[in-house]
């Protein structure tokens, strides 16, 4: 049986994602002095992962790893697990990891808990807590296999302060399977939005059908999001009406988010939308309907017209945050 914790540190755009530091901080807490290691795919650099607790960083780099390929990732992750021999693997609940980890679980015969928002030790074992039934219930998940795999929603844990540690860099030897050999990624298309993706955003401002038009969305929600240093989001009703693109949709049929601050503007609070943002730390609801279901979940509620309140909030946030 392995010991310690291996963290999947996602590398994108020339740097490690914030989730790498969040998970390393939690791994140090859970490991209780045991080894904490990391694996990075697509780079041959350890960056500052050692300063956040990783004693070793296993890297897989080269042309094969320049673009995400599920078969390639599973091969690299399997190699890292074989080299590190951990008891637990923590990864972000990102599109890549949510695609690769079910395959990894099947290949290794390892138990897998997905989309957890809390992790704790119970009797020496790591136990995860995850929302289910559209976020209306929480369940504790204990993995009984010798190797436990967990994917964790971004923003579930605070990133620790950097220390003075350093990490040993270990290059992985990664084999190639027939599926990978038959697959070729010809290109990837990155978003040009210039804002943090919804699934990783620390702050989100979302608009609903009440914005009335694309012009209304662009004149109310986007300026407010910019002033709050947030990522714009939308309800399904707003997306279906053409007010915002689908990649900005929050909800059961859109993106599940977990920000520190979620501002819902003119969103009534249908269960499908709540399923996508229920775990937000602070929820601010702005709605002129005092009976809107969103107020039942909100930390703070503002009863009023978004066409009056949003410009005022935008003005105040600009003056406060710059």
Per-residue pLDDT tens over the stretch 202-219:
999 999 999 999 999 999
pLDDT of residue 16: 95
User: Measured in whole angstroms, how far is the alpha carbon of residue 221 from the centre of its chain?
Assistant: 22
Q: Kindly state the average pLDDT of the residues 143-160.
A: 95
Could you list the beta-strand ranges (E) of 70-167: 88-92, 111-116, 118-122, 125-132, 137-142, 148-152
Region 106-117: mean pLDDT is: 96
- The pair of structure tokens assigned to 107 is 């290949």
Q: What is the pLDDT of residues 29-47, one digit of tens each?
A: 999 888 999 999 999 988 8
Q: What is the third-level CATH fold of 5-181?
A: Rossmann fold (3.40.50)
The continuous run of DSSP H or E covering 269 comes out as: none
What is the mean pLDDT of the segment spanning 63-82?
93
Q: What are the tens digits of pLDDT across the range 168-182? A: 999 999 988 787 778
Q: How confident is the model at residue 194 (pLDDT cuts 50, 70, 90)?
A: confident
Alpha-helical (H) ranges within the chain are 18-31, 70-84, 95-108, 178-181, 214-227, 236-240, 271-277, 306-321
Do 5-181 and 198-321 show the same overall fold?
Answer: yes
Residues 6+ apart with CB under 8 A from 284: 261, 262, 263, 264, 298, 299, 300, 301, 302
Percent pLDDT > 90 in the chain is 82
Q: What does the pLDDT look like over 78-94, one tens digit per residue?
A: 999 999 999 999 999 99
189 pLDDT more than 80: no
Q: Taking residues 5-21, what's their average pLDDT? A: 94
pLDDT of 188 reads 78
Provide the CATH topology of domain 198-321: Rossmann fold (3.40.50)
The reported pLDDT for the residue numbered 136 is 84
Residue 255 DSSP class: B
CA distance 23 to 54: 11
pLDDT band at 52 (very low <50, low <70, confident <90, very high): very high
Question: Which of 138-145's residues contact partners 24+ apart within 8 Å by CB, and which partners?
Answer: 141/113, 141/116, 143/110, 143/111, 143/112, 143/113, 144/111, 145/109, 145/110, 145/111
- Average per-residue pLDDT for the chain: 93
Question: How would you class 291 by CB atoms within 10 Å of its CB: exposed for 0-12, middle for 13-18, buried for 19 or more?
Answer: exposed
- Give me the residue spans of the domains in the chain: 5-181, 198-321
Predicted pLDDT at 163: 86
The whole-number average pLDDT for the span 273-287 is 96
pTM of the model: 0.90
The percent of residues in the chain predicted with pLDDT above 70, rounded, is: 99
Q: What is the pLDDT of residue 1?
A: 56
Helix axes 214-227, 306-321, angle to 10 degrees: 30
| 3-state secondary structure at position 181 | helix
Band (187; pLDDT cuts 50, 70, 90): confident
Mean pLDDT of 148-156: 97
């Amino acid at each position: 049986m392995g010991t310690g914790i291996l963290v999947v540190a996602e590398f994108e755009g020339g740097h490690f994602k914030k989730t790498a530091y969040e998970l390393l901080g939690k791994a140090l807490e859970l490991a209780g002095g045991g080894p904490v290691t990391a694996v990075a795919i697509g780079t041959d650099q350890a960056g500052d992962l050692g300063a956040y607790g990783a004693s070793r960083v296993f890297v897989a780099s080269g042309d094969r790893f320049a673009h995400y390929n599920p078969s390639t990732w599973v091969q690299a992750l399997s190699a890292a697990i074989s080299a590190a021999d951990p008891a637990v693997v923590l990864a972000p609940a990102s599109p890549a990891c949510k695609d690769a980890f079910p395959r990894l679980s099947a290949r290794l015969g390892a138990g897998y808990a997905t989309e957890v928002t809390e992790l704790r030790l119970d009797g020496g074992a790591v136990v995860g807590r995850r929302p289910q039934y559209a976020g209306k219930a929480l369940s504790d998940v204990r993995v009984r296999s010798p190797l436990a795999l967990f994917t964790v929603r971004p923003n579930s844990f605070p990133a620790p302060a950097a220390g003075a540690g350093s990490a040993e860099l270990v290059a992985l030897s990664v084999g190639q399977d027939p599926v990978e050999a038959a697959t070729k990624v010809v290109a990837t298309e990155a978003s040009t939005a210039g804002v943090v993706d919804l699934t990783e955003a620390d702050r989100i401002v979302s608009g609903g059908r009440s914005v009335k038009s694309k012009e209304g969305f662009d004149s109310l929600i986007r300026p407010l999001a910019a002033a709050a240093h947030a990522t714009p989001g939308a309800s399904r009703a707003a997306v279906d009406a053409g007010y915002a693109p689908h990649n900005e949709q929050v909800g059961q049929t859109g993106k599940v988010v977990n920000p520190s601050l979620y501002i819902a503007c003119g969103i009534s609070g249908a269960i499908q939308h709540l399923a996508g943002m229920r775990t937000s730390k602070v929820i601010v609801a702005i709605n002129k309907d005092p009976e809107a279901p969103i107020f039942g979940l909100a930390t703070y509620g503002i009863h009023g017209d978004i066409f009056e309140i949003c410009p005022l909030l935008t003005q105040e946030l600009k003056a406060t945050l710059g």
